[in-house]
Amino acid sequence: MQSIVLFGPPGAGKGTQAQRIMESTGLPQVSTGDMLRAAVAAGTPTGLEAKKYMDAGQLVPDEVIINLIKDRIKESDAQNGVMFDGFPRTIPQAEALASITEVSHVIAIDVPDERIVERICGRFTCNECGSVYHDTFNPTKVAGQCDNCDSKDFKRRADDNESTVMSRLTAYHEQTSPLADWYLSKGIFHVIDGDRDIDEISKDIIEALK
Ligand code: ADP
Ligand code: ADP
Ligand code: ZN
């Protein structure tokens, strides 16, 4: 089993690209952010523990995340590998991952900080199918209706506001970006310019995965 990691700052386009390349990779998307939001919504002990960190734009403790991932990759759809989105985010998480599955490619989506706030503050998703949109950069084709499933029910994340974004960016630079060197030294780190058209980025990612 070989997995892929989509790496990059909040709002880089990891989730957007994961949805687009799912067909060509054949691997399911595993987003720790989505898993944590589901746990918060369900009111599980993990959700209660995670919520205070998420609201503050801080990373949830490694132990919580590693346990979530260990359980997730036991599921039947994960047996040929998965596409991790937003995990790992610290060196201890990457070490834990290395001990449970092989990572063949780390795709780093590179977007400058000054783009991140505008991306995150305009993000919304379909409540039915999870498709990701942006008010300006990636709107629905028909106003108020999901392109993928026709739903008219959308949501915005509580942490997608300007002040929390700044904390999330700080957490990224201090705790997550050191992982780049860790993966570079393993020769599996591919940097993709993420400040371009969504389709061009998808093409480059698929090329890097060949
Ligand atoms: P991440 O999963 O890395 O946090 P998302 O995929 O949710 O990022 O994207 C963040 C926001 O930016 C969304 O509103 C999305 O529609 C938008 N977006 C994604 N890729 C691009 C791009 N290449 N150019 C402009 N906006 C983008
Ligand atoms: P984004 O890509 O926009 O930063 P995510 O959905 O990946 O958003 O993460 C939302 C929040 O969930 C993070 O700010 C953090 O609190 C928590 N989180 C998600 N994944 C991890 C992880 N691997 N390690 C620690 N915290 C995480
Ligand atoms: Zn939808």
Report the distance separating Cα 130 and Cα 154, nearest Å.
Answer: 9
Q: Which of 52, 156, 186, 196 is catalytic?
A: 156
Q: What is the pLDDT of residues 146-190, one digit of tens each?
A: 999 999 999 999 999 998 999 999 999 999 999 999 999 999 999
From the CA of 175, which ligand is nearest? 2
DSSP assignment string, 68-95: HHHHHTTSGGGTT--EEES---SHHHHH
Q: Is 123 a catalytic residue?
A: yes
Report the distance separating Cα 114 and Cα 136, nearest Å.
Answer: 16
- Which residue ranges form the domains of the chain, and what is each CATH number? 3-112+163-208 (3.40.50.300), 123-159 (no CATH)
Q: What percent of the chain has pLDDT over 70?
A: 100
Q: What is the pLDDT of residues 4-50, one digit of tens each?
A: 999 999 999 999 999 999 988 999 999 999 999 999 999 999 999 99
Are 10 and 176 contacting, i.e. CB atoms less than 8 angstroms apart?
no
Report the distance separating Cα 8 and Cα 107, nearest Å.
Answer: 8
In this structure, the residue with its CA closest to atom 6 of ligand 2 is: 33
pLDDT for residue 23 = 86
The whole-number average pLDDT for the span 194-205 is 97
In this structure, the residue with its CA closest to atom 19 of ligand 1 is: 13
Is 54 close to ligand 2, i.e. is its CB under 6 Å away? yes
Side-chain-side CA neighbours of 176 within 13 Å: the count stands at 20
From the CA of 38, which ligand is nearest? 2
CA torsion angle 101 172 209 80 (round to 10):
30
Single out the residue of 115, 57, 30, 179 nearest to residue 123, CA to CA. Answer: 115
Q: What is the pLDDT of residues 79-98, one digit of tens each?
A: 999 999 999 999 999 999 99
Q: Is 156 a catalytic residue?
A: yes
pLDDT for residue 60 = 98
Q: Is 210 a catalytic residue?
A: no
Q: Is 196 a catalytic residue?
A: no
pLDDT for residue 2 = 87
